Structure 1
Amino acid sequence: MSANRWDPKAKKPPKGFNYLVPVLSALENELRDKVRESNAGKRNTESMWPVHQINWQRSRYVYDMYYTHGKITKKVYDYCIKNKLVDAALIAKWKKPGYERLCSTYVINPNNYKFGTTSICRVPLKDRSPEAKTAQDPTTGCRDVLGSGAASEYFWNKYGQNLAAVQVAREKRMEEMEQKRLREEEANSTAAAASAAAGGGDSETDDDSDDDDDYGPTPAAWASEGGKLEAESERLAEGGDDTDDYKQPAKKLKSSS
């Protein structure tokens, strides 16, 4: 993916940036769809809710990939900040105690609210009146940024809010499935080799034969008819010297044909 996809004037993305591209592209496409939706029946401020939501998701995704899961390098992280793919001011607040799940820097600016206060979403649910339990910030639509349950109702969309954790968990599951598949293949290969070695003593003269049907039963057939084969081997072993006097009547077979 070229750098022009994000910023025509930006430098070439550092190695490892493509790891983030699928999710960043999905969020960008979703934001574009939300902006194009009709605002009929919505309040004027409600049309901005998806912007705050997706800005939070995109910033949190990159933040978690770097600080929580360590999946990207410092260069990739700095590239995202420099090219404004994430909200640097919001991320800076997440690093401070009490702001770990802040929805937007807008809600903590006293100038945006009456009496120099902050948003209702900054008030814990347990400290609210029954009427204010479901109150939302009019600008961001957030109910509770303290993580007491209601935040997921606002930040949950078709991609979810824990994007980094979901991606890492999916990769881990795929890796476990691949390892399981390799172990099964190795076990099957070992079993096939053991079966071939067990039945290989009776096929020393088969190298001179051009007929593929002369190689006898498959390993599966040997396993299913193991009792018969074992009994036949014991009968031949008890034949003693009689087997030494046995000669194949090759000429007689030719004359009869």
Structure 2
Amino acid sequence: MSVNRWDPKAKKPPAGFSYLAPVLSALENELRDKVRESNAGKRNTESMWPVQQINWQRSRYVYDMYYTYNKISKKVYDYCIKNKLVDAALIAKWKKPGYERLCSTYVINPSNYKFGTTSICRVPLKDRGPEQMSAMDPTTGCRGCASGDGQPRNIFGNKYGQNLAAVQVAREKRMEELERKRQREEEEEEVEQHERHEQNAGGGEGDSETDDDSDDEDYGPTPAAGVWAGGSKLQEESERLAEGLNDEEHDTHEQPSKKLKAS
């Protein structure tokens, strides 16, 4: 993606931005394609859903990579804010109690709704009537972004509501585990080959340096087959990672209490 979409003289991104660049580029291209799509058969407000939802997903991705997973530096995070790669006003709201999952600043502006209230998506599901359980905000398509238990994990119910940071971290964890498993298998194979060579060479019936019954302790048990197999398991693991780390977010990372000014 371009360094800055509006200012061609902008400084180059700091070191570490390349970690975010592939996902941000993909979301930028996705947004461009959605804007160009035909709106035939859609309501006027529904045609804007992808814009609102991609804005949320892109901002959430950078926010989680910095505050939840500590995968990027403060310089990279500030660069994204300064260059408007994310929604600074929305991120500022996520730092306040009760707004941790807010879909858009639009839905909490009383001037946008009748009787000076907020959107239906801000009402917890437990407080809705039977006829309101499936209600969505007409502007963002959000099914429910209030904080608390019992709320939908995916506030949009589609791919733009996925926690991309959690998925990426889970995928990296999976690749690390597979790499460790491969290394263990190679080491075990080397040990076996060395033992066979000693036996073939008539190295004696006594104990040798390679005769060690503690191989399992050295290399650990082989992971069960099927670990991390399939996209659904990866998504479930990423959600568990996200839930576990979000609970400790304010304790284990820099407290996101500083107000950010929208660029």
Q: TM class by shorter-chain length?
A: 0.7 to 0.9
Distance 2:54 2:165 in 1: 14
C-alpha displacement at 1:197, in angstroms? Answer: 2.3
Would you say 1:180 and 2:184 are equivalent positions? no
Counterpart amino acid of residue 128 in structure 1 = R
Q: Percent identity?
A: 77
**1:8-57 Cα shifts (integer Å, max 9, x gaps):** 22211111100111111111111112111110111111111101100000
Give SS of 2:156's match. helix
Following the alignment from structure 2 to structure 1, what is the Cα–Cα distance between the partners of residues 6 and 178?
34
Residue of structure 1 equivalent to 2:172: 171
Instruction: Identify the residue that residue 123 of structure 1 maps to in structure 2.
Output: 123
1:116 offset after TM fit, Å?
A: 1.3
Alignment-mate amino acid for residue 36 of structure 2: R
Distance 1:144 1:102 in 2: 9
Q: Supply the distance in 2 between the matched residues of 1:194 and 1:7 (Cα, whole angstroms).
A: 65
Equivalent in the alignment of 2:196: 195
Q: Which has the higher contact order (CA 8 A, sep 6+)?
A: 2
RMSD of aligned alpha carbons: 2.0
Give 1:188 deviation, angstroms: 0.8
Q: Partner residue of 2:32?
A: 32
Once the 2 structures are TM-superposed, how far is the Cα of residue 5 of structure 1 from its aligned partner? 7.2
Structure 2 length-normalised TM = 0.71
**Cα distance in structure 2, aligned partners of 1:8 and 1:164:** 28
Give the total of aligned pairs: 201
The 1:133–1:201 alpha-carbon spacing in structure 2 relative to 1, beyond 3 Å, is closer
Give the C-alpha shift of residue 171 in structure 1: 0.3
Instruction: Please list the CA deviations of residues 128-152 of structure 1 after superposition, one character each: whole Å capped at 9, or x if unmatched.
Output: 2222222221111112102644462
Partner of 1:154: 156
Paired residues of 2:14 and 2:75 also in contact (CA < 8 A)? yes
Give the unaligned 5+ runs of structure 2: 204-263
> Mean alpha-carbon deviation: is it higher for 86-95 or for 111-120?
111-120
Contact 1:144 1:151 in 2 (8 A): no
Amino acid of the residue matched to residue 61 of structure 1?
A: Y
In the TM superposition, 1:42-121 aligns within 5 A as 42-121=42-121
Matched letter for residue 122 of structure 2: R
Distance 1:4 1:114 in 2: 38
Which of structure 1's runs of 4+ aligned residues deviate more than 6 A? none
**Is contact 2:66-2:73 (8 Å) kept?**
yes
CA–CA distance in structure 2, aligned partners of residues 145 and 115 of structure 1: 21
Structure with higher Rg: it is 1
**TM-score, scaled to structure 1:** 0.73
